[in-house]
Amino acid sequence: MAFGSLFFLTAFLPPVLFGHWALQAAGRRWRHATAAANAWLLAASLAACFLSDLPGLPWFLGCAAGTDLFARAVSAARRPRLRKALLALALAADLGLLCFFKYGGVLARWIDAAAGCPLVPAPAIAFPLGISFWVFRSMSCVWDAARGVRPPPRNPLDTICWMALFPVFVSGPIVRWADVAESFRSRPFSAPLAASGFRRLLVGLAKKVLLANQLAPFADAVWELADAGRGMSPGMAALGVAAYSLQLYFDFSGYSDMAIGLGRTLGFDFKENFLWPYGSASVREFWRRWHVSLSSWLRDYLYFPLGGSRCGAARACLNSMAVFAACGVWHGTGWTFLLWGLWHGLLVCAERLFGPKRRKGAPPPDRPAWIAAPRFLAAHAWTLAAVAFGWILFRSATPAAAGSLLRSLAGLEPVAREARTLWLDCTPVVSVALAAGAVLSLPVVPALRRLARRVLPEWFVWTLESLAATALGVLALLFLAASTRRSFLYFQF
């Protein structure tokens, strides 16, 4: 059940929110209110799982129960060897589950191809929704319990509720138990907090519906041609890559905004997942701002255990390559995902080895603006180009398709007949979305907000922001409703 669906917004969300707010409001007079709110949230989250992915529900419940058992056992184990063994067992079970569903089919195909005959039956079970996210949440919980960073949840129902939390179940962010443990003990209701969460939800919805969804048909049309090995003009290819880069950002960050906003309306405080990544001036900085919950998870649970950057430059580069390869494979099973991960690993290593070096904690060099600004712009342009190149690998179905698009970008591919009408897909709406997206992907809104707060009273800024969010929300709902329109009778034939 996607956040951007009318069913979620109009049928599922209102009763869940009303019920939760009522229980939170009762917290002042009833000491079991938080437990009741948690139970309500658990029921709502399981209902969401039921409605969106019934076949995957038993797998999820099994994983959540296993997480709770292992986390308790690891936490209770006194001998380090036993603790490590239990941790290894839990991680192996989690990774095994992930690999079975995500890579089982591919592995079976590879084995069959190598053997020349069908040997291994491909898993016939559907891919459980959100498995990449809830498996990582499970691993972080057991790991943190083993390291003593955060004790596991006291109540098994809290474990299931945290892992099933509907705002973050399908597409993250990867909310760790350590981040929300306190909220499971106490979540007071406040109208300003709930309203600010709802506003964030509307902004996220607008990002998804008004920007990402508008850019999607054009990006799809470009990649449809590229995947078929058809050439197009360099301008159209460049616009297509730009459209996809922005579509991906607004789609995913919009989703994260909605998750964070929903969390806030329920009283949770999820960490930010996107920190204006397209404003970065280096690829390393980009990864500190893009999908923060995943990059920080990989940093804490893979990069640091491998030794991080404390074992010399060569080892640090090797570790980075391993982390980014894992990041690529986590996103999907195609070769292009692995290539995308390795491309970013290479860039990070290159920046580590050849980029400007500054001691940790040292202030930035004080350069005059006429030197600093062009340097920043050049670095920013390079970062955007490198990231966009990565998105070509990420979006293409095969390396050959990525090669075809790159050749089109360089003007080396003859323009196919089908590509001559591509400009029709680059409609004025796409152009507006491209222009607006290019501006809004940079930290313009926070700057305007800071400026407004400096010169206007707080309540006025709040009202302005709420009116803007309302207008965006109404527009997004209108677009969603319009997409249900079916015009032609003869499509019933």
Partner 1 sequence: MNRILPAAFLAFWSAALAFPQVARIVLRRTGAVSWAAFDSAGEKRNSAPYPTLRKGTPRSVAPAEFGRAWESWYGDALPWRTELLLFHRDQSFRRLKTPVGREVPGHGNWVFRRGGDWPELDDYLGAKELSPAELADWIVLFEGRREWGRAIGAAVLEVPAVTKAQARWQELYPAIRRHRGNNVAAQVREALADSPARDDVLFADDDFAAAFAAGRETFFDRDHHPNAYGEWLLYDRINRRLRELFPDRIGETPPWYDEPPPAVLAGEAPGCWRRSIRLEVSVPGEVQDDDGVVHNAARYPYCNVATKREGGGISVLLAHDSFMRFSLASWRGKDGDVRFPFAKGVGRVRALIFQRFSPGFLEGATAHGIPDVLVEQFPACRLDASVSKYLDAGTRAAAAFGRAEEPPASRPPRAGDRIAARAVFGDVRAGGRARPVAVLRCGGAEIARRDVPPGVKRAAFFDVAELPSDGPLEVSLEGGSAASADLVWRLARRP
191 binds partner 1 (CB under 8 A): yes
Q: Closest Cα to residue 130, out of 56, 238, 51, 35?
A: 56
A 10 A CB-CB count for 53 gives 20
DSSP state letters, 311-327: T-HHHHHHHHHHHHHHH
* Strand extents, DSSP E, 169-311: none
Token match 């999607």: residue? 216
Member of 120, 195, 302, 445 binding partner 1 (CB under 8 A): 195
Closer residue to partner 1, CB minimum distance, 1 or 379: 1
429 binds partner 1 (CB under 8 A): yes
365 binds partner 1 (CB under 8 A): no
Closer residue to partner 1, CB minimum distance, 371 or 467: 467
435 binds partner 1 (CB under 8 A): no
Closer residue to partner 1, CB minimum distance, 14 or 356: 14
CB of 479 closer than 8 Å to CB of 210 = yes
Tell me the backbone φ, ψ of residue 9, rounded to 5 degrees. Answer: -70, -35
DSSP state letters, 396-415: -SSHHHHHHHHHHHTT-SPP
Member of 80, 116, 121, 192 binding partner 1 (CB under 8 A): 192
124 binds partner 1 (CB under 8 A): no
Binding mask 51-70 for partner 1 (x = CB under 8 A): xxxx----------------
454 binds partner 1 (CB under 8 A): no
Q: How far is the CB of 138 from partner 1 (least distance, A)?
A: 24
CB of 270 closer than 8 Å to CB of 175 = yes
Q: How far is the CB of 44 from partner 1 (least distance, A)?
A: 14
> How many positions of this chain bind partner 1 (CB under 8 A)?
56
Specify the stretch interacting with partner 1 by CB under 8 A; choose among 45-53, 102-110, 274-282, 307-315: 45-53
Task: List the catalytic residue out of 20, 291, 331, 344.
Answer: 331
CB of 352 closer than 8 Å to CB of 312 = no
Q: How far is CA 187 from CA 31, 156, 219, 239, 264, in A?
A: 12, 19, 42, 46, 10
Q: How far is the CB of 369 from partner 1 (least distance, A)?
A: 37
Q: Closest Cα to residue 325, out of 310, 335, 315?
A: 335
Tell me the backbone φ, ψ of residue 315, rounded to 5 degrees. Answer: -65, -40
Q: How far is the CB of 51 from partner 1 (least distance, A)?
A: 4
d(CA 270, CA 36): 21
Active-site annotation holds for 32: no
d(CA 287, CA 400): 27
Specify the stretch interacting with partner 1 by CB under 8 A; choose among 60-68, 204-212, 283-291, 456-464: 456-464
**How many degrees, rounded to 5, is the angle at CA 25 between CA 22 and CA 30?**
105
Closer residue to partner 1, CB minimum distance, 27 or 390: 27
Specify the stretch interacting with partner 1 by CB under 8 A; choose among 63-71, 135-143, 156-164, 190-198: 190-198
Q: How far is the CB of 489 from partner 1 (least distance, A)?
A: 4
Q: How far is the CB of 192 from partner 1 (least distance, A)?
A: 4
d(CA 344, CA 340): 6
Q: Residues in the site for partner 1, rule: CB under 8 A?
A: 1, 5-7, 9-11, 13-14, 17-18, 50-54, 190-192, 194-196, 198-199, 202, 217, 421, 424, 427-430, 432, 458-459, 462-463, 466, 470, 473-474, 478-490, 492-493
Give the residue numbers annotated as catalytic, written as ranges: 331
